[in-house]
Amino acid sequence: MATARIVPLKALVHGVSPWNPLSRVLRLRSRPLYSAVRDYSAAISPPSKAVVYDQHGSPDVVTRVTELPPVEIKDNDVCVRMLAAPINPSDINRIEGVYPVRPPLPAVGGYEGVGEVHAIGSAVKGLSPGDWVIPSPPSTGTWQTYVVKEQSVWQKVDKSTPMEYAATVIVNPLTALRMLEDFIALKSGDTIVQNGATSIVGQCVIQLARLRGIHSINIIRDRAGSDEAKAHLKQLGADEVYTESQLEVKNVRGLLGNIPEPVLGFNCVGGNAASLILKFLKQGGTMVTYGGMSKKPITVSTSAFIFKELTLTGFWLQRWMSSDKPEERQSMIDYLLGLCRDGKLKYELEVSPFDDFHSALEKAMGKRGRQPKQILKF
């Protein structure tokens, strides 16, 4: 339970900074000292330990861990003690300055996570200290020990959900689910094809497709450990897994056997890996691009458009999350978390203490070879 703390007014005034919305504390100087302390003592967050960056650049260079001062908890605000937050590729891109939507600088890193309600404003209904919540839609600044945002940002989640899955349910699993549902009316027996199959989205696509009776053809990079990666994806429910070099054949459809040609493909790599998806797709099929990890363009032959009548489109979760569909969004998240609790949706994760942030960051940036998704535990 949250407890009221008497916070010296002097400390509050000295805490004013670009990070601290308590500037109006300065206007209390004309009021009696006791009155000012009484009014604010129960409406201030604890100080927060945070990952901060003042400029864009390589995350391992421009980020630092520092302490931020307390902030005011307004009537409609919820103060959340963060429990866990992932390091996603999009988090790295925001810090690098290459992601299309970025917070103003200076900024706190992170975009999703799970936390426990620490304190609530006087007008907050439906949440209590001790509840678990996630930012939905995701919201910047989750790489810190305490976050204060309006109640509308937070969605309550079942506390029986494994913490690391609650922290990661939106950016990757929800992307997989929406792509399976938004472009083609898939039915049991249909087939999808994807590259980047070892990614979290890829692993989720395999499992969600299998639950619907949908076959999956999966493409992975040629690298050390590819046999182990294939075996792992097969355990998750993949029908077929190929390295890119295995698909250097004239007719990839001959590899499918009794599996129907894919009607839908997911591309998160670009370059040659995207071209392989186009080779697999049946006439009239659709390829959805949701990433570009290779940073290489997608090249499409004229015949793919004219004779195969393929459709190429894109998906960006943030646009869907920003649409006015709060009930649908909550329903989808609850569904995914239910699958996680039942053991029907799982993916590779590694939990690291927040104090080991820079080590976890290096792993997330690929500086220590292939690593599981890094989750910061606060």
Among 34, 40, 99, 165, the one annotated catalytic: 99
- Residue identified by tokens 């000295």 is 14
Contact (CB, 8 A) for 265 and 290: no
Rg over alpha carbons for the chain, rounded to the nearest Å, is: 23
Sheet strands side by side (includes 48-53): 63-68, 48-53, 107-108
Query: Coil, helix or strand for 147?
Result: strand
Q: What are phi and psi of 83, to 5 degrees?
A: -105, -40
Active site residue 99: yes
For residue 261, give the nearest of 243, 244, 289, 239 by alpha carbon.
239
> What number of CA atoms fall less than 13 Å from residue 351's CA on the CB side?
12
355 contact partners, CB below 8 Å, separation of at least 6 = none
DSSP state of 117: E
Catalytic residue numbers, as ranges: 99
